[in-house]
Amino acid sequence: MSQAPASPVILPGATLGVLGGGQLGRMFVHAAQAMGYFTAVLDKDETSPAGRVSHHHIRTGYEDPLGLSALAQACAAVTTEFENVPAASLDQLARHLPVSPAGSAVAIAQDRAAEKAHFVRCGVPVAPHAVIETPEQLAAVGAELLPGILKTARMGYDGKGQVRVKMAEELASAWEQLGRVACVLEKMLPLAHECSVIVARGRDGQIVNLPVQRNLHRDGILAVTEVFEGNVPEVQAQQALAAAKSVAKGLQYVGVLCVEFFVLQNGELVVNEIAPRPHNSGHYSQNGCDVSQFELQVRCMTGLPLVQPRLHSPSIMLNLLGDLWFQDGDTARTPAWDQVLALPGCHLHLYGKVDAKRARKMGHLNVTAATPEQARATALQAAAILGIAPF
Ligand code: ATP
Ligand code: MG
């Protein structure tokens, strides 16, 4: 197979585009602008977090051919912050300019069934599961997969599109509840904890990684990420890193990729899912590492060199959900940022979302310190001030 000619490096001064205007797009825009790039965001929402801080904001949907061609015109390269951008839109853009990650890799991450098949191809262990697309497949589910979680194959996030199923008799109504769309039934596993790894892979195949992140989820939503030496036992950390690299390589991936894992109570490591973009569990890198996941995204898409990031401070990230904007039921309040920012090593990141809603990600707080114990003590103090349950 002949190799495509290497694209030239895209230097600061050029315009970089991102599909999607959410918080990940906003933090990408901030990183790109800090490095001297101009930015363009494509998102139909007038008040999108990224659109509001970008030099250019193209207000159309992801499938609008005119919007896509305006983006291609304005930019030297394009990335995405949202994995449910139609792969066909990425492919359309790729005919005109470098797009990373590629539509083919994003298409796999969009579909839990395809994603699991890819993990198996890479020799990375997955949870026992069955693909459910027909009533026959539903009827054929074996008792060994129960209790389990029925998950829609596409469009799930933050635990949405999932129903827990204890007994075989509940399967039909669970599938009904999910609209009888294509699903994956996964066996419910006994988790000791969860972790994730973020890798960045360049056009030349070079891979660098952020340190393994230990994650705590509440109600299916990431609540806390802790990163310091020894956060995850060394054996599992090494396995997770090797698995993440092999998943990225198997996709011929270019860009930032997050791979989420379960660590089981017996010590086994099982891959959960991938995100073809920077990830909530990597936000600590903005303050805890010398290169953030968003700078890695800029470097990947422009062909700039990838350097191995270094964690310079033990770090804890607390997600700030919209619930913190309410007191005793429905009374609106502003969280006591002044009190939190009086604590050493607290870095506040708010996404500029117009309305606070329960379970909506409004921002995050990165806590850095000289030692893991100090980071933890400060993070617990901040959590107490904000009304986040201790962890
Ligand atoms: P996100 O996109 O926000 O990461 P999601 O909606 O794609 O989330 P998953 O990652 O599949 O959802 O699941 C959310 C959480 O639910 C997991 O992080 C884990 O805590 C729990 N969970 C999911 N699948 C299983 C399983 N098979 N066994 C035990 N717990 C699980
Ligand atoms: Mg997940």
Question: How far, in Å, CA of 199 to CA of 277, rounded?
Answer: 10
Q: How far apart are CA 236 and CA 258, in angstroms?
A: 16
Pocket test residue of 162, 224, 261, 266 for ligand 1, highest count of atoms within 8 A of CB: 162
Report pLDDT digits (tens) over 359-388. 999 999 999 999 999 999 999 999 999 999
Distance (angstroms) between ligand 1 centre and the Cα of 54 equals 32
Mutate to test the pocket of ligand 1, among 261, 272, 280 (most ligand atoms within 8 A of CB): 272
Q: Indicate the pairing of strand 56-58 with strand 38-42.
A: parallel
Helix axes of 65-74 and 87-94: crossing angle, nearest 10 degrees: 40
Measure the CA–CA gap between 80 and 155, rounded to whole angstroms.
16
DSSP 99: B
Q: By CB neighbour count within 10 A (0-12 exposed, 13-18 middle, 19+ buried), where does 272 fall?
A: buried
Q: Considering every ligand atom, which ligand is closest to the CA of 24? A: 1
**How far, in Å, CA of 344 to CA of 374, rounded?**
10
Residue nearest to atom 19 of ligand 1 (CA): 220
Predicted local confidence at residue 158, as pLDDT: 76
Q: Which pLDDT score, from 0 to 100, does residue 6 have?
A: 64
111 touches ligand 1 (CB under 6 Å) = no
**Residue ranges, the chain, pLDDT below 50:** 1-3
> What is the pLDDT, as a whole number, of residue 5?
53
Q: How far is the CA of 273 from the centre of ligand 1 (A)?
A: 8
Specify the pTM. Answer: 0.96
Query: What distance in angstroms lies between residue 196's CA and the mean position of ligand 1's atoms?
Result: 12
Q: State the closest ligand 1 atom to the C-alpha of 161, by its place in the atom list counted from 1.
A: 6
The Cα 107–Cα 275 span in angstroms is 11
